[in-house]
Amino acid sequence: MTKETTYTEDNIRSLDWKEHIRMRPGMYIGKLGDGSAPDDGIYILIKEVLDNSIDEFVMGAGKTIDISIKSDQVTIRDYGRGIPLGKVVDVVSKMNTGGKYDSKAFKKSVGLNGVGTKAVNALSSYFKVQSIRDNKSKIAEFNQGILINDAPEEESSLRKGTKVSFTPDQDIFSHYKFRNEYIEKMIKNYVYLNIGLTILFNGKKFKSENGLKDLLEENIAEESKLFPIIHLMEEDIEIALTYSKSQYSEEFHSFVNGQHTTQGGTHQNAYRESIVKTIRDFFGKNYEASDIRKSIVTAISIKVMEPVFESQTKTKLGSTEMGGGLPTVRTFINDFVKRRLDNYLHRNPQTAEKIQRRILQAEKERKELSGIRKIARERAKKASLHNKKLRDCRVHLNEMKKDNRLDSSLFITEGDSASGSITKSRNVNTQAVFSLKGKPLNSYGLSKKIVYENEEFNLLQSALNIEDGIENLRYNNVVIATDADVDGMHIRLLLITFFLQFFPEVIKEGHLYILETPLFRVRDKKETFYCYTEEEKKNAIQKLRGKPEMTRFKGLGEISPDEFVHFIGKNIRLDPVMMDKETSIDQLLEFYMGKNTPDRQKFIINNLKVELDLLEEN
């Protein structure tokens, strides 16, 4: 007989603001993570504070922002107007308090709900805010959102503005590590969208003179551009556009009020439509939309009155209205692109001719591949039905909300034993496993036709759902899980080559990772340590003293499912695969899979920031 659960007044409790944020951090900052992904919580904390400083710049107050990170403590100092001194404590610790509720003070602000700094405060083991204005200074300090120092106002000769320092709480963000590459990318986006703004990060200066044009210059190598970047802008809208010679899929960067909307939204959908319509009308041809957008590299930024985002982290715009008496978002963008891009193409017939040739080439390739693609899709469907390659997770099997994709991962592994260990120990709700059959083909220099003709590549593409680009990528994290030996390293290189050759956006957008697994297990009767380096092994031996048992893991298959659960669960260690700003994909592939040169290892390590220390043995 089942015992009945009581439900009385004792079951009802009210959480204060900081308790609620700490208990449900995902509602305020998205996923937590450890800093290995660009959308992990520690970067959202930086963004939430930085957004306030950016809004000050937008309102004409303060042209410089200083950011520093020392011993995991982040400090952000602006030279804006400063928080009104009597409200310093309330602004960072009292819900529904903030200047952005007054639309006169912040007309086109990033953070409209005033929750951001309060979330940072609650999720930090230490939080300090200082406001300087009217030759006075006010400081308040907190521990996990609890006020520990409410200092009186003092006379001050410092420049006006706001200074916030915080240390993310280890109880919330365990084993986190700040990666400068992600922070610098965030900062670059801020300066691209705010011409005239200077941001100093640990002394390094970031400033943009050409807005979104600079963003595209950063994202596409000079030799890969089909034509010089088209850069068009008016008061509330800016676009930059070119095509890539070496890229297969479309690449869109979209922003609203300075916020990078990584999941797109109404503005990005409207922009994609408007490009297709304008080019069709210009050439008087009903070209396929996919042929028009194939290989496009472009960015759009718009400013909206009181935007509505689909989450607190503001990664997807839900607004349909521009506000301020302007037409809808869709109409506004369509009118701008139709007028300005059409004019540009008429005045630059050589660029128009290159675009048309690119579209016709895309059309030819699509038709040549259509028969192969149909057969390949059927093959992938059959393989999926028989569950031969992909062991999916419930996020997709149950057709849960698309937003759950942000929590999902696909482990790509090789061999039955390794695949079996991961499959048995994974979180079936969010973690899927794709099993390779031996080493994948070296795809260097091959055409996309091989993706459909090669069973492994075809099924992997199908599992990821990236045939037509990464907009509908089924897993936020694509994790290469191979043995830490020469063969495992070679498989990593072959898989990274596949993504670089055909789907570089998976890397560019921060979705590809290498799974770190321990090299050693050191234990005695009481404690067990899993060590990822020789140094960790030495420290473990010292801690246990005596003669502890030591095991060297030669492959993933040697790690039992009971142990593997520790390495792909809460304490998972992922090493992101990242491309340097000036890296040409063609050049990178030549070094990767072309002839060996003395510079090969150094080049790979410098351009793909992932540890390839075993390459010397290869």
Q: Which of 190, 207, 224 is the last residue of a domain?
A: 207
- Percent of the chain clearing pLDDT 90 (strictly above): 38
Exposure string (b/e) for 57-84, b if CB count within 10 Å is 16 or more? bbbebbebbbbeeeebebebbbbbbbbe
Residues 466, 578, single domain; the answer is yes
Assigned domain for 283 exists:
yes
Residue 393: pLDDT over 50: yes
Residues 202, 217, single domain; the answer is no
Q: What angle do CA 454, 457, 461 make, to 5 degrees?
A: 135
Residues 150, 67, single domain; the answer is yes
Mean pLDDT of all residues in 495-522: 88
Q: Which of 184, 207, 230 is the last residue of a domain?
A: 207
3-state secondary structure of 70: strand
Q: Give the least confident one: 46-50, 109-113, 274-278, 377-381.
A: 109-113
Q: What is the pTM of this model?
A: 0.79
Assigned domain for 527 exists:
no
pLDDT of residue 603: 52
Assigned domain for 371 exists:
no
Domains: count for the chain: 3
Residue 92: pLDDT over 60: yes
Residue 368: pLDDT over 70: yes
Residues 202, 222, single domain; the answer is no
Residue 596 sits in a domain of what CATH number? 3.40.50.670
Assigned domain for 534 exists:
no
Residue 400: pLDDT over 70: no
Residues 392, 441, single domain; the answer is yes
Reported as a single tens digit per residue, the pLDDT across 148-196 is: 999 999 999 999 999 999 999 998 988 888 999 899 999 999 999 999 9
Residue 293 sits in a domain of what CATH number? 3.30.230.10
Sign of the CA dihedral with 241 first, then 246, 249, and 251 last: negative
Residues 112, 227, single domain; the answer is no
Residues 202, 221, single domain; the answer is no
Assigned domain for 414 exists:
yes
Residues 50, 169, single domain; the answer is yes
- Rounded to 5 degrees, φ, ψ at 475 are -130, 130
Residues 227, 202, single domain; the answer is no
Residues 559, 437, single domain; the answer is yes
Residues 398, 305, single domain; the answer is no
Q: Give the least confident one: 142-146, 378-382, 444-448.
A: 378-382
Domain span at residue 147 reads 17-207
Reported as a single tens digit per residue, the pLDDT across 317-347 is: 776 767 666 788 889 999 999 999 999 999 9
Spatial contact of 45 and 168, defined as CB atoms under 8 Å apart: yes
Assigned domain for 544 exists:
no
Spatial contact of 444 and 592, defined as CB atoms under 8 Å apart: yes
Assigned domain for 10 exists:
no
Q: How far apart are the first and last CA of the chain?
A: 63
Q: The tokens of 426 are what?
A: 């994974």
Unique residue bearing structure tokens 């691209």: 192
pLDDT of residue 593: 62
For 512, other C-beta atoms within 10 Å of its C-beta total 26
pLDDT of residue 560: 84
Q: Give the least confident one: 130-134, 220-224, 382-386.
A: 382-386
For 472, other C-beta atoms within 10 Å of its C-beta total 12
Query: Which residues lie across from 70 on neighbouring strands?
Result: 73
Residue 615: pLDDT over 70: no
Unique residue bearing structure tokens 């200077």: 198
Q: Smallest Cα–Cα separation from 112: which of 103, 123, 122, 125? A: 103
pLDDT of residue 382: 64
Reported as a single tens digit per residue, the pLDDT across 24-57 is: 887 888 788 888 888 889 999 999 999 999 989 9
**DSSP result, 463-518:** HHT-TT-STT-S-SEEEEE--SSHHHHHHHHHHHHHHHHH-HHHHHTT-EEEEE--
Assigned domain for 526 exists:
no
Residues 228, 275, single domain; the answer is yes
Residue 201 sits in a domain of what CATH number? 3.30.565.10
Reported as a single tens digit per residue, the pLDDT across 239-269 is: 999 998 877 778 889 998 888 888 888 899 9
Q: Which of 207, 239, 258 is the last residue of a domain?
A: 207
